[in-house]
Amino acid sequence: MLKSIDFSVVVQGPIHSSPEHKGERDVTIRCLKSIRTFLPDAEIVLSTWESENTEGLDYNVLIKSVDPKTNSSTTRNANAIAEQLSFTNVDRQIVSTRAGLEAATRPYAIKFRGDLLMESDALLRHPEFFDSPGTPLFQGKVLITPYFTKNPRTFPSLFHYSDIVQVGRTEDLRKIWSAPLTFDPETTRLAERDRDHYLSPWRQVPPRLLPEQFIIFSFLEKGGHRSYVRHPFLVTPRKILLSEELLLKSFRVVAPAQLGVRLRDDFVTGDPRLFYLCSDWERLTRAYAHPVSRWASQVALLLQTYMAWSQLLGSSFLRALKERQTTWGARKE
């Protein structure tokens, strides 16, 4: 059975303060204290920015990197005029996580955020999480949470695995976070609209890859496993199966409580039907284990996907789609 001394906890990103205690760093202080309470012998690697005040914080290793800044993205209207600017922090996440993992010295690592909390040592009480044999990609399965592990059977998004908390062998997490910094228009919306973009349920021009997808695809391409998608919402049943096979072979979906982690409230308020829940992961594991059940799963996939997407298209998604088709037709004229 693993002990806390076997883990490096990489707390990545900015130093957080709550709105009512601005500048007091109370959120990150509670985060570090919770790790020390429940994983007392773990190595805490705090990976943040050169500009952050880290004096007096409880850590074993401090890494300060140059802030790569946010990735800006522009929403354009029908006349190709910029309407608003939105941002992602994918480059920041890559830089701080990669630097922290490179400094980690323990055989196992936990990729953590400075605005989360450990609430128990439950992770140490589940040795089965770490008994899995090696996979084609990793030395063992990487543990992820259901939240933001999108289920393409109910929402059209492939290889969208959660990056909020990840647990696994340190070398395996280093492989995932070896992604290069992003480049336009992979994870920005600076590209002009075209007809494919009208399949997006949002008003913005979508990127080719969402941040979670960019990290996974970069890792796969480094290993020679190219699985190109032109658009984050263009999926096929065959690609859904590929996305599920990777999830089942190399990852394990685990409830936050089983990891001993408390997520932010806004992370757990989404529609659970959009995510792979632990029960979904277990059901798929059984379904893919035998050729007959695998075939039945593929048939069920077609039916489930058709029904789920029909419901999606029957709501605001369909109204947005019609609006974009009208706009596209007007621009063509």
> Cα-atom radius of gyration of the chain, to the nearest Å?
21
Distance CA 76, CA 74 (A): 6
The residue type found at 51 is S
pLDDT tens profile 55-69: 999 999 999 999 987
CB-based burial, 5-18: b 16+ in 10 Å, e otherwise: ebbbbbbbbbbbbe
Indicate whether 149 pLDDT > 60: yes
Assigned token pair, 175: 């492989």
pLDDT at position 280 = 85
What pLDDT band is residue 145 in, cutting at 50, 70 and 90? very high
The residue type found at 4 is S
pLDDT at position 230 = 63
Q: What does the chain come to in residues?
A: 333
pLDDT at position 190 = 47
Cβ burial of 56 (10 Å; 0-12, 13-18, 19+) is exposed
Least confident of 71-80, 252-261, 295-304, 310-319: 71-80
Distance CA 244, CA 249 (A): 9
Indicate whether 150 pLDDT > 70: yes
Single pTM value for the model? 0.82
What pLDDT band is residue 10 in, cutting at 50, 70 and 90? very high
> 33-36 contacts: CB < 8 A, separation 24 or more?
33/58, 34/117, 34/118, 34/119, 35/9, 35/11, 35/112, 35/118
What pLDDT band is residue 243 in, cutting at 50, 70 and 90? confident
> Residue range 24-48: average pLDDT?
96
Least confident of 42-46, 73-77, 327-331: 327-331
pLDDT tens profile 159-197: 899 999 999 999 999 999 998 888 765 665 544 444 444
Peptide bond before residue 185 is cis, with ω within 30 degrees of 0: yes
DSSP 105-120: -SSEEEEEETT-EE--
Angle at 13 between CA 11 and CA 15, to 5 degrees: 90
Give 66's contacts (C-beta < 8 A, 6+ positions apart): 49, 50, 95
Mean pLDDT of the chain: 80
Q: What is the 3-state secondary structure (H, E, C) of 166-197?
A: EEEEHHHHHHHCCCCCCCCCCCCCCCCCCHHH
pLDDT tens profile 96-115: 999 999 999 999 999 999 99
Q: Which residue has the higher pLDDT, 18 or 170?
A: 170
Assigned token pair, 331: 């621009």
Indicate whether 318 pLDDT > 60: no
**Which residues of the chain form beta strands (DSSP E)?**
7-12, 43-49, 61-65, 71-76, 82-88, 108-113, 117-118, 142-144, 166-169, 251-253, 261-262
Find the distance separating the first CA and the last CA of the chain, reported in whole Å.
68
Least confident of 167-176, 266-275, 296-305: 296-305
* Phi-psi category of residue 159: left, alpha or beta, with phi > 0 → left and psi -120 to 50 → alpha: left
